[in-house]
Amino acid sequence: MSAHELPADRIDTSTAHSARIYDYIIGGEDHYPADREAGDAMVLEWPALPVHMRANRDFMQRAVRYLAEEEGIRQFLDIGTGIPTSPNIHEIAQSVAPAARVVYVDNDPLVLALSQGLVSSTPEGKTSYIEADMLDPAAVLDAPAFRETLDPGEPVALTVIAIVHFLLDEHDAVGIVRRLLDPLPVGSFLAMSIGTAEFAPEEVGRVAREYAARGMPMRLRTFAEAEEFFDGLELVEPGIVQVHKWRPDGTGTEVIRDADIAMYGAVARKTG
């Protein structure tokens, strides 16, 4: 079911939404005129925005495949899932290990309405969707779907992709991520992408102002601030880098300049 087939009272179509803007810019179909207007305005300010967003999604796919193939991770907890776009995390993980299990978390009514695309698991595996706000980690960890889908005694990959730039200083983004990671066993992983303005400050600053004008203020972070999310963890090589530089697999056809990317990415292991 596309956004256009949903009951009108399920979602607010009059104002732009970050997940729908993202969906529009990467070529999806679950968006409305307000989202398209916002996306067009943002791309006008920074023409590289579509390249940046696609590179972020490619990073997610490489990170999940790495975790499933090379680290043997069979459980994933995805925070701030967004609108389903194939391949989703469970499709990538289950293509490697059909018994992989995934819990998706978001609090957007459109994502909830489209969540059937997130729970179409293989027979051997399992996927679940939790409607919860990442600002309340306990609501995620205490949800029945979390306990019924994931084994707390086995490692879990916590994926937090392209979401913490919408958490302001008063939200304590580092603390939120840590409260989600702390209950997970040793051997678990954190995979994140973190918005930054360090490579194209003027252009990204203009995009951030477009978001803020639509009620979506952003907190872009420096490299040092990105490092804080990984304190006490063991970073996987190459460490914290722009997302297009994290273990590129040579499959991309776009020429990507550093100035086109406003996201740090990293994967790290919990060792204690």
Contact 65, 191 (CB under 8 A): no
User: Taking residues 189-208, what's their average pLDDT?
Assistant: 97
pLDDT of residue 86: 87
Is the pLDDT assigned to residue 77 strictly greater than 90?
yes
Which amino acid is it at 241?
V
Is the pLDDT assigned to residue 5 strictly greater than 50?
no
User: Taking residues 78-91, what's their average pLDDT?
Assistant: 92
Contact 73, 155 (CB under 8 A): yes
CB-count burial class (<10 Å; 0-12, 13-18, 19+) for 86: exposed
pLDDT of residue 216: 95
Bridge partners of 193? 161, 265
Q: Of 3-12, 82-91, 146-155, 253-262, where does mean pLDDT reach its minimum?
A: 3-12
Confidence of residue 11 (pLDDT cuts 50, 70, 90): confident
What are the pLDDT digits (tens) for 142-163?
Answer: 999 999 999 999 999 999 999 9
pLDDT of residue 73: 98
pLDDT of residue 47: 97
Is the pLDDT assigned to residue 218 strictly greater than 80?
yes
Is the pLDDT assigned to residue 2 strictly greater than 60?
no
Contact 45, 230 (CB under 8 A): no
Measured between alpha carbons, how far is residue 8 from residues 12, 117, 200, 271 in Å? 8, 20, 38, 47
Domains, the chain, with CATH or none: 3-269 (3.40.50.150)
pLDDT of residue 84: 85
pLDDT of residue 3: 42
**121 contact partners, CB below 8 Å, separation of at least 6:** 90, 94, 102, 127
User: Taking residues 36-49, what's their average pLDDT?
Assistant: 97
User: Taking residues 69-78, what's their average pLDDT?
Assistant: 98
CB-count burial class (<10 Å; 0-12, 13-18, 19+) for 253: exposed
Bridge partners of 199? none
Compute the CA torsion angle 243, 249, 251, 254 (nearest 10 deg): 30
Is the pLDDT assigned to residue 195 strictly greater than 90?
yes
pLDDT of residue 250: 82
What percentage of the chain exceeds 90 in pLDDT? 83
pLDDT of residue 10: 57
Maximum C-alpha span of the chain? 49
